Structure 1
Amino acid sequence: MENGRTVATRDAPRKRELVFFQDSCTGCGMCCEVCTSNAIRLGPTGAIARGVVDAAYLAVNEDCKLCGLCARVCMFGALALYIDGVKEEYDALGSAGVKGGCKFCKLCEEVCPRDAVTVHRTMPGMGELVSGEFKIDMEKCIYCGICQDICPTGALTVERGGLSAKQRGVSEDTPARFERIELDESKCVLCRICARACPVDALTVTQDACDDKIKITGEVVIDNNRCSWCGWCEEVCPEKVIEVQKPIEGDIEIDVERCQGCGTCVEICPCDALYFPLTEYIKIEESYALDRGWSKPIRPRAIPVAVQLKVNKQRCIFCGACANACPIDAIKVTRKKIRMMDTLPKPTQKALSKLMEA
């Protein structure tokens, strides 16, 4: 329950707690739509998303029956039902997975609007990448430290220092100075720069010919508690090894005559599916002349302005967050089908059918 807040609780016959995670909530309102006791109310989600109002997206009153339907339908893990301290787990409405053949390019990680994708690359060590031999002629080495200073990977360490008479003691066998040169083989790439720089030719470096393809391994982790199954990762994957099944089929309509371009819907959309196309920068040569000045009441390189709100329906999951946030009701979201609906218990199917009512 870390970072969560208990919004409803009951102790008998078993302890049941409904926990709300504000950071995960998108204000989609699906929990409100399925609640059989009308115990959940949305706040001013648009104003909250824009930072105008400091409040939670939703509130739960004492009428809550702690049935867990809201937690079952929440696609973002913002609501969770705990029974005797154990979280109830449900099959996700959507799914996302990675097949074999991933090149670990990290495009999916970079494009994910909810930071739900993490790509771990496993790079081979230097010893696996290059092979050869590094030799130091200790008779020639003067411990000048040039090789250490010029080494691009910091693989060489050279030390040289004098000893005082007290440090040497009374024995004539104790040297008047000490020297040390060491190579960190895990860093050395056998580039031969040190050998070329050595003023006394004390270093010999040889590298074996190796043209084998370097194999990069790794792992792609998709956090299903954050994933909204929008499909951006699937779209950008150059190897087409990501498969996403969206949780809901539906449609979204924008009343362009009503839309004022405030951008609240763009701010709250969990899928980056809404956007404003931008006008092109003006062409100075067509709008300005030295003898006449500006032919249009505009400035060069002015910030482009939004033309009209657009939606990428392929990336929309029809959650309804944009429609709830719109201050002038210019957006309408219609849901037509919910994935996995047929596999759910009949009472749950009946409750979730409210999501598809016009």
Structure 2
Amino acid sequence: MGDIRSPSRRALLFGPVPNAPSLAVLRPPWAKPEPEFLAACTHCDACVRACPEQVLLRGADGLPCFESHAGECTFCGDCVAACDSGAFEPARDPPWTLVAQVAGTCLSARGVVCASCRDVCPASAIHVPPGARGAASVEQEACTGCGACVAPCPVDAISLHHAPAMEAVA
């Protein structure tokens, strides 16, 4: 099963961003730290097939990855339950250290009324100043990193990253 990501709206209309930095691969929730996950995962795709939201895909490296442009992770745990290889840590809370970040291309920051990210955030972690008086902001302590805000953004201003402060704790 190959990587079936569709191009972003921006890439579709204007072409890919030249020299865009490569983004880190986002593993499924509760995945063990990268070296352990790489050693334990058997490439069986059981977690990918079990994902009811279809946000887990086989990445370019042949391992499962979370694709935030495909939708929201509901943290149902079906991926963990489907895995027999021991590549997950189901008892870990939170399931990962991902948080949303807003880029300077945010429409609200440019004076355009938009709150698409705030409207879909199940954790109410995104705040947008009224009347397009500034960029959307993310309350990192409340953000679950579910990715619900990524795909609805019309200018791809939302992305997920590992929270540095939380990585030291995990």
TM category, shorter: 0.3 to 0.5
TM-score, structure 1 as length reference = 0.24
Greater helix content? 2
TM-score, structure 2 as length reference = 0.43
Over alpha carbons, which structure has the higher Rg? 1
> Which structure is richer in relative contact order (CA contacts within 8 A, separation 6 or more)?
2
